[in-house]
Structure 1
Amino acid sequence: MTTTPTGRSRLWLLPTLSGYQRSWIGRDVLAGISAGAVVVPQAMAYATIANLPVQAGLYTCIVPMIVYALLGGSRAMSVSTTSTIATLTATTLVSAGVVSGSDDIPRDLVTLTLLVGAILGVARLLRLGSLVEIINKPTLLGIQVGVGATVALGQLPKLLGVSETTTGSGFIRSFVAVVEAVPQANLATVLLSVGSVATLFIVKRFAPRIPGPLIVVVAGILLSAFAGLPDAGVDRIAPVTQGVPLPALPSFQHILALIPGAFAIAVMAFLETTAVARGIRDAGDRAIDNNQELLADAAANLVGGFFQTLPAAGGFSQSAVNRAAGARSQISGLVTAALALLVGLWLGPVVSLLPQATLASLVFVAVFGLIDVRSLGLLWRISRRDFAVAIVTMTVGLVAGLLQAVVVGVVLTLILLLSALNRPRIRVLSPTEEQLDVTLLAPLYTGSTLGTEQAILQAVDAAPGTHRVTLDCSVLREISVTVIDGLRDLDRELAGRGIALTLTGFAPAVLAVLERTDWFQTLRETGRAA
């Protein structure tokens, strides 16, 4: 148990059960079933993005869901996998040369998920949860649009009746595959796809509380079993293995090639989890602790990896359903996991009747919402710079690949952050014709010291006749050798112009460092340091 800044204790195990009331159990059970009706078919569909057996998606609804329920801080979060994570998984496996698509889950998936968990675990040990705040919305929007366009296009061959998965090969390869698939389109598959997609959009638009994915999956199974769809050339998914997720050992054959993708997946998994946790948080709920979410994400992937799951993260659609159904704690997540386990134990032969086009329809509609043209238009109206960041990230994702898009997005974010931090922040007042009072409005660090020095010299140049500059440094709470050198250079530059520099407002900890230098001791002796 730890203590939050407000003084309230925070449980590290089952934190969402703190203050739990017995009357909430009914709502949690209903919410868990409602979320399961969405997340189970969706997760199986997302597994096909990476050309993995659908049971990999099913297992991701069980193990990570249970682990997050034990450690996660969001009451209504539903953790399995997402379209973004599944797409990055596909890209990583393809880039590493991993061959998938058989009825068996490749051991390289175990390796990848464990790597993601290990990276998140190291980030938690270093308490890097606050770093999520530096990834801005335009960067995420660009990545999401790239993912949405790539995955949606990659599903079109299956919607046309051509069994080919190209998502992991990028947007251009997917476009070529669509062109090649059109002449081979199967009419029955196309009709099923159109009906499934239309149903999902209509239910989502006019009856959002109804589990559209469940309706489409049940309809697809019934049509496949009793309407002779296989005889009409409609392909079914690969047979689903009955049973529970069993432990498996990782493969080290492609481990080095998997590491870059694992970093990208870890970044996006944490970003999505924290974004969803905050987005569905109700007023009065405990504040979301980024480091707590890091711990939960890391554990969900480390444990889930050994049970052959996809990398896990919080998903918005199922979490929104969970919250709308009244979830009050992660008991709802345990109910969803139990539902997925029942499907794995007894409904494998039934699920195996599902047409591939039905799963492709689920993926297509789920990722279509990521192509957020409205938000791009809003960025264009508000900030052309942010719009450019989103477009650059999106373009890299479409042309070079989604892993590269994540890297470029993070680099762009860091460049913008450093640009903002390096901008001088000072206030200049002139109480007399011979004196300038300058106040630092932000702490100095290596990147901002020179710019701040130049800004002060420019202010002096703009005030002829100045003989004294008083610099208020009360904003500084720590100081480095580089900053000390910068202040010494400023003193020397001003002295060369016949201007005396006085430094004031230092905190005791800063003074203790400064007094170790001969330069500052000289300032003290001449009365120019207070």
Structure 2
Amino acid sequence: MPAGLLPTLSGYRRGWIRYDVVAGLAAGTVVIPQAMAYATIAGLPVEVGLYTCMLPMVAYALLGGSRSLSISTTSTIAILTASTLATLPADRSGDDLLRSAFTLTVLVGLALLVMRLFRLGSLVEQISPATMTGVKAGVGLTVAATQLPTLLGVAGDAEDEGFFGKLGDTISKLGDLNTATVAVSAGAIAVLYALRRLAPQVPGPLVVAVGGILLVAATDIESHGLALIPDVPSGLPTPTMPLWGDIGALLPGALAIAVMAFMETVLVARAQRQRSEPAIDSDQELLANGVAALAGGFSQCLPPAGGFSQSAVNQRAGARSQLAGIVTAVLAVLVALFLGPVLDDLPEAILAAMVMVAVLGLVSPAEFARLRRIDRAEFWVALAVAVVGLTAGLLLAVGLGVALTLVLVLRAFSSNRARPLYPRAGGGWTLVAPAPGDVLPAYDDVLLLHLESGLYTGNARPTQDAILAAALAARPRAVVLEGAQVTRVTVPLLEVVQGLAADLQEEGIGLLLAGFPESTVEAARHSHWFARFDEGGRVFRTVDEAVEKVRTTGP
């Protein structure tokens, strides 16, 4: 597993340098304008998005395990950032709001590092895919609604929150739309979609950004009402200190963002991983993402996460390691140092068009339809999370998704773990039910059951009840419980065996155990009751021995 500094440079070859340089430059042409656009979603200056392509990228390059992942920020993280900052008092100054945003990034980094300390990577990954589907749908539609005023050239009402509030406010102002802004927006969206479909290797965000700047420089379209982004300062970000007094208000949002940032990073990293590359270690990704966020929080950045679009560009361009990410970070530094005055001519509508095209891809009706066909419970989780995200806010939606995932996990965990065991025609045993017409040995006097795994508090009672019900329905001479997969002895397991033995005995049915690993049996003998149960000839090495015992001498 990857560990230490620069894990993606292990086994690096000199000939790969040119591939990483080209890939880093190519990814930069996508991620830099896109990150600037995402900063506007969070209600922050565009340079904050530019800065997010610097230190966080370098930090991930030093520690991350994915060779082609490009980390900056995403639309999901940006809108969750905006939702979290909206919980702060409205009367604070712009400078304090910025410091609060950077404090949020620091808290996200600390949350990720705490998760790494307790090795919670695999636990966080248990969040249901349905939750992610619902969150993405809520994010996509909410962000799209926030961009409509900019695309149409109308004034947005900052007090309108949520999808329906922003959409309703925009519809009420359609009579005030600006023709020049609509034309630029429509043209940018058309170019982005056309390049994505016809020439995916061409960096669409860079093309429309350059086109917008040239349009403003060569014409007087600005005088027709086309709004430009605020002036972008030249230079690098200066160190900032968190506002520690905001921790209480920002912490719930920071936890939600940390979970989503980790999930997005790991999902993209695993999707991009080639077979020849080392496996992605979730705990290593927690460390890398946490350090990246912590570094970003002290250098005026949004919370970072892996982005699919720029990572795909990185991979298509032939990235061999995270040296490509360092190249992208260097490119961002050069843009900040030398291109600030040029970026001042960038229309706001261009950034809004980038965001709109990116986020509408998050809304997937086909995924909802697939969930409905395969698992209705997962479908309702996705739908509930999406609806809550659109009506009550995305932070609450993430919390609901995590809670519903826990409910689904507990439901599955608390189910009956006993399954029927069937004889094979040629001898032996299987969990596969025989096909109609198969001629198999008859075992009417024995109920054969397989215990899928160990028993714990949640699944012990359902398992005991199911075994007892099956025995009372079949009325065999004995129940043979096979437990080859039970590798750990727990108190609930011993209590189930003891309870079943007593209940079945009252019904004149014996209970025998078979196939349990010797180490499991040895550990169970520490229970005085089980030691007597074993000495009474009720525990067998194989199912065949147990069945033979029932048929020759009785249970």
Q: Normalising TM by the smaller chain, what interval? A: over 0.9
1:114-146 CA-to-partner distances (Å, cap 9, x unmatched) read 111111111111112212442232221111111
Deviation of residue 382 (structure 1)?
Answer: 3.6
AA matched with 1:478: R
Residue 379 of structure 2 is aligned to residue 369 of structure 1: no
Secondary structure at the counterpart of residue 362 of structure 2: coil
The CA distance in 2 between the partners of 1:344 and 1:218, in whole Å, is 16
1:221/1:526 Cα in 2 relative to 1: closer, same or farther (>3 Å)?
Answer: same
Separation in structure 2 between the aligned mates of residue 168 and residue 14 of structure 1, nearest angstrom: 45
User: What is aligned with 1:353?
Assistant: 345
Q: 1:171 aligns with which of 145, 163, 170?
A: 163
Query: When the two structures are superposed, what TM-score results if normalisation uses the length of structure 2?
Result: 0.89
The range that moved more, 435-444 or 323-332, is 435-444
**Local SS of the residue matching 1:253:** helix
Contact 2:52–2:72 at 8 Å: present in 1 too?
yes
After superposition, the Cα gap between the structure-2 partners of 1:48 and 1:104, relative to the gap in structure 1 and judged at 3 Å, is farther
SS of the equivalent of 2:385 reads helix
Distance (whole Å) between structure 2 residues aligned to residue 54 and residue 165 of structure 1: 20
* 8 A contact 2:58–2:329 mirrored in 1: yes
The structure 2 residue matched to 1:74, chosen from 63, 66, 87, is 66
The counterpart of 2:35, out of the listed 39, 43, 62, is: 43
Q: Does 2:405 match 1:413? A: yes
**Higher mean displacement: 380-389 or 347-356:** 380-389
Contact 2:83/2:395 (<8 A) preserved: yes
Which consecutive residues of structure 2, in runs of 5 or more, have no partner in the other structure?
A: 423-441, 541-555
**1:70-100 deviations in Å (ceiling 9; x for gaps):** 1111111100000111011111111233668
Amino acid at match of 1:514: A
Give the corresponding residue for 1:187.
179
The alignment status of 1:223 with 2:215, answered yes or no, reads yes
Q: What amino acid sits opposite 2:490 in the alignment?
A: S
Query: Displacement, 1:399?
Result: 1.3
2:447 counterpart of 1:436: yes
Change (3 A) 1:429 1:288: closer
Q: Which of 444, 456, 465 lines up with 1:454 in the alignment? A: 465
Match for residue 309 of structure 1 among 294, 301, 315: 301
Q: Show the counterpart of 1:391.
A: 383
**Residues of 2 paired with 1:106 and 1:404: CA distance?**
23
Normalising by structure 1, report the TM-score.
0.93
Deviations 1:267-296 (A, max 9, x none): 111110011011111221111111111111
Q: Is the 8 A contact 1:200 1:365 kept in 2?
A: yes
Q: Which residue in the other structure is 1:523 paired with?
A: 533
| 2:497 aligns with one of 478, 487, 504 | 487
Indicate the residue corresponding to 1:496 in structure 2. 506
Q: Distance in 1 between matches of 2:163 and 2:217?
A: 34
Aligned pairs, number:
521
Match for 1:39: what amino acid? V
Q: Highest CA radius of gyration, 1 or 2?
A: 2
Is the Cα contact below 8 Å between 2:8 and 2:65 reproduced in 1? yes
Instruction: Please say if 1:296 is aligned against 2:307.
Output: no
Tell me if structure 2 keeps the 8 A contact 1:50–1:168: no
Inter-partner Cα distance in structure 2 for 1:99 and 1:425: 57
The equivalent residue for 2:144 is 152
What letter is aligned with 2:69?
Answer: M
Q: Does the CA-based 8 Å contact 1:53-1:104 persist in structure 2?
A: no
Shift of 1:105: 6.3
* Matched-pair contact (CA < 8 Å) for 2:234–2:339: yes
In 2 relative to 1, CA 253–151 (structure 1 residues): closer, same or farther, beyond 3 Å?
Answer: same
1:98/1:61 CA distance change after superposition, 3 Å: farther
* SS of aligned partner of 2:244: coil
Paired residues of 1:32 and 1:322 also in contact (CA < 8 A):
yes
- Number of the residue aligned with 1:277: 269
Relative to structure 1, is the Cα distance of residues 526 and 187 closer, same or farther in structure 2, using a 3 angstrom cutoff?
Answer: same
Q: Match of 1:476, as an amino acid?
A: V
Once residues 107 and 503 of structure 1 are traced to their aligned partners in structure 2, the CA distance between those partners, rounded to angstroms, is 64
User: Which of 255, 268, 271 is matched with 1:263 structurally?
Assistant: 255
CA distances 1:365-392 after superposition (whole Å, capped 9, x unpaired): 1111111123223333444333322222
Query: Higher mean Cα deviation, 495-504 or 106-115?
Result: 495-504
Report the AA paired with residue 335 of structure 1: V
Shift of 1:429: 4.8
Q: Deviations over 1:388-424 (max 9, x none)?
A: 2222221111111111111121222222222222222
Structure 1 unpaired stretches of 5+:
5-9
Moved more, 263-272 or 94-103: 94-103
Give the Cα separation in 1 of the matches to 2:154 and 2:67.
41
Which secondary structure state, in structure 1, belongs to the residue aligned with residue 245 of structure 2?
A: coil
Letter in structure 1 aligned against 2:179: L
Distance 1:99 1:237, change over 3 A: farther
Secondary structure of 1:106's aligned partner: helix
Provide the residue aligned with 1:7 in structure 2.
none
**Comparing 175-184 and 376-385, the one that deviates more:** 376-385
What is the DSSP-based 3-state SS (H/G/I as helix, E as strand, rest coil) of the residue aligned with 1:439?
strand
Match of 1:85 among 64, 72, 77: 77
Residue 23 of structure 2 is matched in structure 1 by 31
> Does structure 2 conserve the Cα–Cα contact (< 8 Å) formed by 1:108 and 1:250?
yes
Across the aligned residues of Structure 1 and Structure 2, the Cα RMSD in angstroms comes to 2.1
Q: 1:475 maps to what in 2?
A: 485
Residues 447-472 of structure 1 show CA distances to partners (whole Å, capped at 9, x for unaligned) of 111111111112211222x2322322
Question: For the structure 1 residues 15 and 95, does the alpha-carbon distance in structure 2 shift closer, same or farther, using more than 3 Å as the test?
Answer: same
Deviates more, 1:438-447 or 1:118-127: 438-447
1:330 aligns to 2:322 (yes or no)? yes
- Larger displacement relative to structure 2 (157-166 or 290-299): 157-166
Q: 2:286 & 2:265 partners in 1: Cα distance?
A: 9
The 1:403–1:364 alpha-carbon spacing in structure 2 relative to 1, beyond 3 Å, is same
What letter matches 2:240 in structure 1?
A
Residues 185, 350 of structure 2: 8 Å contact kept: yes
Instruction: Kindly provide the amino acid, as one letter, of the partner of residue 446 in structure 2.
Output: Q
Aligned to 1:475, the other structure's residue is in SS state coil
Q: Assess, with a 3 A threshold, how the Cα gap between structure 1 residues 239 and 104 changes in structure 2: closer, same or farther.
A: farther
**Is the CA contact 1:145–1:370 (under 8 Å) kept in the aligned structure 2?**
yes
Q: Aligned ranges for residues 236-251 of structure 1 at < 5 Å?
A: 236-251=228-243
Q: Establish whether residue 65 from structure 1 lines up as the match of residue 75 from structure 2.
A: no
Identity %: 50
